[in-house]
Structure 1
Amino acid sequence: MAKTPTVKSAPAADLPPEISVVVPVFDEEGAAPDLAREIARAFDGRRYEMIFVDDHSRDGTVAALKALEPELPALRVLKHRKNSGQSRAIRSGILAARGAVIVTLDGDGQNDPADGPQLVDALLAGPAELALVGGERVKRQDSQAKKLASRFGNGVRKRLLHDTANDTGCGLKAFRREAFLRLPYFDHIHRYIPALMLREGYRVDFRPVNHRHRQTGQSKYTNLGRLWASLSDLLGVMWLQSRARDPGGADEV
């Protein structure tokens, strides 16, 4: 009797990534290389890619990242032709991503990449309607003024939008790419992803994550600038919620 031929599975390098780690960066020459190495260590053994999206930096961020490509084969670098903001950089990375699961984290190194896999595992272990598992920063390493402003903003947003999120400013999130692409896009959407996921009928969940001191560079946001943008964004998302209609699903007949 002839033996059944053995079918060898394709090596992991030949398979598309399951996870795409998307990192927006702007003038982060000091932080980006070490962050890329940390991501590689955190996701070692998984089918992943990391996509750094440079939002038209004025320093050597792109050159520093490109120099890492021989060392980090999972690294991809995108560069905006003009500065367009954090949310647009995240969206550019997601549009270019090949993984069905997206992990986002800030490019300043304050989010800990080691927490990324646990968010992915929680997402994949949940039901199909669970579309996002977001991080909530514990022992936040920011100035007292920034923490107070964030606490106030999160409280107002949570009360008005009912998005169940205590910390939408945390850049570390894991979510399904398909679900994100169903959301209406606007600038600063990254702070409203939980509310918009709920609007589409998905479920969201949250997990505590580490937060670290910024080692290089400086914050691109001010409390006043965030407040002004948040007011108009909040009104816009409330309007989107008021105009949503849930069909309860669709069945082919």
Structure 2
Amino acid sequence: MPSEVMPNANPPPSTAQGVPDVSIVVPVYHERDNLRELVERVQQALGPTPWSFELICVDDGSTDDSAALLAQLAQRHAWLHPVVLARNYGQSTALQAGFERARGRYIVTLDGDLQNDPDDIPALIERLERDPEVDVISGWRHQRQDKALSRKLPSVLANRLISWATRVPLHDYGCALKAYRREIIERIRLYGELHRFIPSLAREAGARIVEVPVRHHPRTRGRSKYGIDRTFRVILDLVLIVFFLRYRQRPLHAFGGLGLWLLTPGLLILAYLLGVKLMGEDIGSRPLLMAGVMMVLMGAQLVVAGLTGELLIRIYHEGAARPQYHTRPLPGPGDGACAGQHRARVE
């Protein structure tokens, strides 16, 4: 269980009257050198705005005294709420821990390395305020400041692959700066390393997404935690997310469909060999016999796995009364043309 460092009990006027308007969730891992400036930059960005806010920094098992510094800063800023995880769980778990503690109507995420610009946050919130047809705003680092080709090239390839596979076209899935309506975050949960696919999960939960250009700065302190090996993990996670999005509520179509592709030729092979056997020929030494038997057995196992999945998905939804669908408010006059838009837009 994550432990929390409690901030000063005397909140400023912006949060004293109730829940904040904006919750900013920042996963932190070995970012001690950036934390002080991060807190100051968030205050400078949102302090002059009419929105009350809270900053939730989730320390993901850092060993560089990031947690101690967060506790110190929380004594001076009552809107800063540190959360310290017992060990390093990964960015998805850190974000989920922050989401579970976020109280705002709008939830914003960004990285703790100051490559995202907190000054972009007010524009994102303003867009959500004035446009009810937008649920998620995803940042696009259209002028990336990363110099290493080992980061840029895999990112470009991954973005194109993810956009094609998930059918949610975005230029920059890796940009941490995103803004959400609270109800969208409440509909999704992050496991493993699914933080890269939050827009796809949000779309599955019914969100309408736009992508807007945001600023990006070079890292000046600390060290990047990403390497070329992340590309292979993204591919594996992509297989999971595609299955989750397309077949979560109909696993029989996934497993059973593949099973039928194996069963059908396998049965045809065995039927052919049976005819050959009835004509008096020996089929015991034919490799085709082994191939037919293996295809039938594997196909049958996949069909059974699909049926088991159908039972499990019904237990998942009915046992805990989880919803199979989500709704949105009825659009007002003149909104009908916009209410059906589900394609991610770039602006």
Per-residue CA distance 1:112-156 (angstroms, 9 max, x = gap): 00001111111222225x321011012211122211110011011
Match of 2:34 among 14, 31, 35: 31
Match of 1:111 in 2: 116
TM-score by length of 2: 0.65
Match of 1:194 among 195, 199, 203: 199
Quick check: which one's helix share is greater? 2
CA distance in 1, matches of 2:108, 2:327: 27
Q: Secondary structure at the match of 1:166?
A: coil
Match of 1:5 in 2: none
The alignment status of 1:238 with 2:207, answered yes or no, reads no
Q: Secondary structure at the match of 2:135?
A: strand
CA distance in 2, matches of 1:163, 1:98: 28
CA distance in 1, matches of 2:161, 2:103: 36
CA distance in 1, matches of 2:191, 2:41: 30
Q: Secondary structure at the match of 1:87?
A: helix
CA distance in 1, matches of 2:28, 2:325: 39
Match of 2:292 in 1: none
Match of 1:228 among 232, 241, 248: 232
Q: Secondary structure at the match of 1:135?
A: strand
CA distance in 1, matches of 2:325, 2:220: 48
TM-score by length of 1: 0.88
Quick check: which one's strand share is greater? 1
The alignment status of 1:203 with 2:208, answered yes or no, reads yes
CA distance in 1, matches of 2:140, 2:187: 24
The alignment status of 1:94 with 2:88, answered yes or no, reads no
Identical columns (%): 35
Aligned partner letter, 2:87? K
Worse overlay, 86-95 or 237-246? 237-246
| Root-mean-square deviation (Å) | 1.9
Match of 2:72 in 1: 67
Given the superposition, is the C-alpha separation of residues 186 and 69 from structure 1 closer, same or farther in structure 2, using an over 3 Å criterion? closer
Given the superposition, is the C-alpha separation of residues 55 and 184 from structure 1 closer, same or farther in structure 2, using an over 3 Å criterion? closer
Match of 2:19 in 1: 16
CA distance in 2, matches of 1:107, 1:26: 8
Check whether the contact 1:42–1:113 (CA below 8 A) recurs between aligned residues. yes
CA distance in 2, matches of 1:248, 1:215: 43
CA distance in 1, matches of 2:20, 2:89: 27
CA distance in 1, matches of 2:45, 2:108: 12
Match of 1:7 in 2: none
Match of 2:43 among 12, 37, 40: 40
Runs of 4+ displaced beyond 6 Å: none
Given the superposition, is the C-alpha separation of residues 244 and 198 from structure 1 closer, same or farther in structure 2, using an over 3 Å criterion? farther
Match of 1:135 in 2: 139
Per-residue CA distance 1:43-85 (angstroms, 9 max, x = gap): 1132100010000110111122222224322111100011101
Shift of 1:195: 1.1
Shift of 1:186: 1.9
Given the superposition, is the C-alpha separation of residues 85 and 127 from structure 1 closer, same or farther in structure 2, using an over 3 Å criterion? same
Check whether the contact 2:25–2:98 (CA below 8 A) recurs between aligned residues. yes
Check whether the contact 2:205–2:326 (CA below 8 A) recurs between aligned residues. no
The alignment status of 1:159 with 2:156, answered yes or no, reads no
Shift of 1:244: 5.6
Per-residue CA distance 1:90-126 (angstroms, 9 max, x = gap): 1101101111211100011110000011111112222
Q: Which runs of 5+ in 2 are unaligned?
A: 1-12, 250-323, 330-347
Shift of 1:229: 1.3
Check whether the contact 2:60–2:90 (CA below 8 A) recurs between aligned residues. yes
Match of 1:149 in 2: 154
Match of 2:88 in 1: 83
Aligned partner letter, 1:182? R
Given the superposition, is the C-alpha separation of residues 114 and 249 from structure 1 closer, same or farther in structure 2, using an over 3 Å criterion? closer
Given the superposition, is the C-alpha separation of residues 85 and 212 from structure 1 closer, same or farther in structure 2, using an over 3 Å criterion? same
Structure showing greater radius of gyration is 2
